Structure 1
């Protein structure tokens, strides 16, 4: 791609989910994160949640396909996040991002995942680099 990436550029919003109980159970099995909070309605209710929260790492992993679709000429080399508030099972999740730094070799992004509350559930950052020869 030859489009110049600039500071302040916004990534197209991407909607993922909603994640159902079966998806969370599958994720728990393959990831090894079988914390019952993500799987048990009664436990979630006990701490005041309407449903179990989606695994934070499952949400974080949702950013990679969004980034690849936005710029297939770039490789994801760093991804991290803070989990601000739970995004619950059954909620649709909106992913978005903005360019904070851009050079010919590396792009640094701020990422957001919003659930039904429309306040960020996840605030992340990603570093992308150009693929060799692209």
Structure 2
């Protein structure tokens, strides 16, 4: 059943999805598509010399997962703002849980609080917000 933007209220979880596990092959494909070939995301030895166990997931790939959650859940023309902040690294092979919760709602805008976390943990890796416009009544 489609989500009714008119009836949701602050505190409601309106979208949630788990992506992954995010593999090394996915990181290579993302690097090719995005042009971000930072070796921390692609070369295990470089990542280990930098203090990581293995390569880490691109932060912007994590943001793209949050964006995918939004565009799969809401009409594209209702999305007016989308911002994020990277708060922790995402190890390769992680499953990333993305979630959108209603933070505020008025007669024209719904503000969503966004979060990406490592699935099955309480480790938040990305936070953010999105503004959705409500349809104008005729």
Tell me, yes or no, if the aligned pair for 1:73 and 1:130 is still in contact at 8 Å: no
Rounded Cα–Cα distance in structure 1 between residues aligned with 2:100 and 2:109: 16
Kept in 2: contact 1:74–1:131 (CA 8 A)? no
* 1:31 maps onto 2:73 in alignment: no
1:91 is paired with a residue whose SS is coil
Aligned residues: 134
1:74, CA displacement in angstroms?
Answer: 6.1
- In 2, Cα distance between the equivalents of 1:52 and 1:131? 43
SS of aligned partner of 2:47: helix
2:133 to 116, 129, 132: 129
The CA deviation at 1:38 is 0.7
Contact 1:68-1:74 at 8 Å conserved across structures: no
2:23 is aligned to 20
Distance 1:2 1:28, change over 3 A: closer
Distance, in Å, in 1 between the alignment partners of 2:25 and 2:82 is 26
Deviation above 6 Å: which 4+ runs of structure 1? none
Structure 1 62/131 Cα, relative in aligned 2: closer, same or farther at 3 Å?
farther
CA RMSD across the alignment: 2.3
Distance across 2 between alignment mates of 1:95 and 1:47: 27
Structure 1 residues 73, 50: closer, same or farther in 2, change over 3 A? Answer: same
Q: Deviations over 1:8-60 (max 9, x none)?
A: 11134210011111111111111111111111111111222122111111111
Q: How does 1:109-128 map to 2 (within 5 A)?
A: 109-115=112-118, 117-128=121-132
Unpaired stretches in structure 2, ≥5 consecutive residues = none
What is the TM-score normalised by the length of structure 1? Answer: 0.86
